[in-house]
Amino acid sequence: MILAFNGSPRLKGNTATMLQAALDGAASEGAETRLIHLRSLNYKGCVSCFSCKLKKGRHGHCAMKDDLSPILDMMEEADALLFGSPIYYGDVTPEMLALEHRFLFSHMLYNKENRWVFPRKIPSAFIYTFGVTADQAEAVLAPFANVHGRMGEMLGVKSDVCYSANAWQFSDYSLYEADRYDPAAKKKYHEEVFPEDCRKAFEMGRRLASTKA
């Protein structure tokens, strides 16, 4: 099962569309897939209880009990993981950040060796969508190298990444205070470039399903 997480509160927005394209790619390779919308779950970020690091504790297990608990258990069994988030003020959404923190931190020990306690090797991938133009993508994505690196280390396979820039945010730009954007140019970009971004996500989904750890 390939598990995908939509960090956007919009269930049919840019991120959800890119995620679905990636899952379609994975399904074309015969993978079973599931998309989970984080907004429909009630949970908090890591509370720094350190239960996951107790010598006599359950390593690789987050002790918090909320809607994320069964999801974290499912992640333990998944064949691959896909994380999708819009960029909000230079970061992923709070929902995605809380998931990433709890997943990573509960599988990490403060030991010099055997630092990560994830039981298997599985591939992972990240999808980002954002409003600024593609020429700024490198700067937008640079802060996430840390989380990608750690996720790859923990899961034993380097993570894959793709993105879509210059996001189409409203269906009718004339209704909003947004005159910094040219609606015709936005529409053209959405019609011509976004499908290409989705095609790249589809290919990433295929890779995710066919990567052998």
Ligand X SMILES: Cc1cc2nc3c(=O)[nH]c(=O)nc-3n(C[C@H](O)[C@H](O)[C@H](O)COP(=O)(O)O)c2cc1C
Give the nearer residue to ligand X in terms of CB position, either 171 or 174: 171
Which residue of 2, 3, 14, 123 would you call a contact of ligand X, by CB under 6 A? 14
Residue 129's SS3 state is: strand
| Residue 129 touching ligand X (CB under 6 A) | yes
Task: Based on the shown chain and the rule CB under 6 A, indicate whether residue 159 belongs to the binding site for ligand X.
Answer: no
Q: Are 207 and 29 in contact (CB under 8 A)?
A: no
In the bound complex, what is the minimum distance in angstroms from residue 14's beta carbon to ligand X? 4
Q: Reduce the DSSP state of residue 72 to 3 states and report it.
A: helix
Helix (H, G, I), strand (E, B) or coil at 119: coil
The SS3 call for residue 131 is coil
Q: Which of 1, 47, 132, 213 binds ligand X (CB under 6 A)?
A: 132
The correct pick among 42, 48, 65, 90 for binding ligand X (CB under 6 A) is 90
* Smallest distance, ligand X to C-beta of residue 84, A: 8
Among 45, 94, 131, 156, which residue sits at the site for ligand X (rule: CB under 6 A)?
131
Least gap, CB of 191 to ligand X (angstroms):
16
Interface with ligand X (CB under 6 A), residue total: 17
- Rounded Cα–Cα distance for residues 12 and 6 (Å): 10
Provide the CA 46 distance to its chain's centre, in angstroms: 17
C-beta neighbour count of 116 within 10 angstroms: 16
**Residues 114, 107: Cα–Cα separation, whole Å:** 11
Beta bridge partners of 80: 2
Does 135 participate in binding ligand X (rule CB under 6 A)?
Answer: no
Distance CA 123, CA 151 (A): 9
Stretch that binds ligand X, among 13-21, 24-32, 36-44, 190-198 (CB under 6 A): 13-21
> Binding of ligand X at residue 189 (CB under 6 A)?
no
Query: In the complex, which residues of this chain contact ligand X (CB under 6 A)?
Result: 8, 10, 13-16, 86-90, 129-132, 167, 169
